[in-house]
Amino acid sequence: MAEPQATYTWKENNACTATYKVLEGDKFLDQFEDADIPFAKAASIKLKTLRYFPKTTTNPQIIEVLSLEIARKFVTDIVKVFTVSKQNTATSSATIISSIAKIFADGEKTIKDLAEVVDSNIKFPDEA
């Protein structure tokens, strides 16, 4: 599994725009409206404020199950929109989904943190 960079910059590359588009899109995860959270302000938004994150329970087992489910849907939607491949052939698709699920499970993580893990594991067309 590829390790995230020491510092990651939120910018209009494929990884950040794919993360934003899949989280925001009505046809995808529909977690917020672009009028409320435009791309430029999305980086610092904590995942616990998004619609998928449970507010009536702190049960860690339920949150773990939820994070794996939404991570799979997230990757499915990215594959629908972009022609992507793995950054590292040796890393399994299951490991990549699990890495993304770990971010979804931690409400203190931000949308930028999610984009960073996406970028470090998934190769987009703008990466030659």
Partner 1 sequence: MKYLIPVLTASALIAPAFASSAETDTPGNSSFEFNPVVVDSKNGTGSTVGVEYKFKGNLLTKSFDSKESSNVLDPNATIGSAVIGYSGSGTVAASKDRNPKNFLEFQLDAKLRYSGPGKGTVLGGLFAKYETNQSFTNKQFVYGLGGTYGKYAVFGENDFVAFDANYGRVDPKGDVERKSALGSAPIDPYYRWNLEFLYMVPIRSATVKSVEFNYRYFLENNAPAAIKSAALDEHQLGTIRIGLKNDFFLAYSAGKLPFDRKNTQIIQLGVSYKFN
Give the three-state DSSP class for 70: helix
Q: Which is nearer to partner 1, 11 or 54 (CB)?
A: 54
- Minimum separation from the CB atom of position 67 to partner 1 (A): 9
Query: Which spans of this chain sit near partner 1 (rule: CB under 8 A)?
Result: 26-27, 29-31, 36, 44-46, 48-49, 51-52, 54-66, 68-70, 72-73, 75-76, 78-79, 84-86, 89-90, 92-98, 102, 105-109, 122-123
Q: Which is nearer to partner 1, 7 or 60 (CB)?
A: 60
Contact 37, 24 (CB under 8 A): yes
Tell me the H-state helices in the chain.
14-24, 39-42, 60-81, 93-105, 111-121
Q: Which is nearer to partner 1, 5 or 76 (CB)?
A: 76
Give the three-state DSSP class for 122: strand
Q: How far is CA 39 from the centre of its chain?
A: 14
Give the amino acid at 26: D
- Minimum separation from the CB atom of position 68 to partner 1 (A): 5
CA dihedral 108, 36, 68, 86 (to 10 degrees): -100
- Minimum separation from the CB atom of position 1 to partner 1 (A): 9
Q: Which is nearer to partner 1, 16 or 122 (CB)?
A: 122
- Minimum separation from the CB atom of position 63 to partner 1 (A): 8
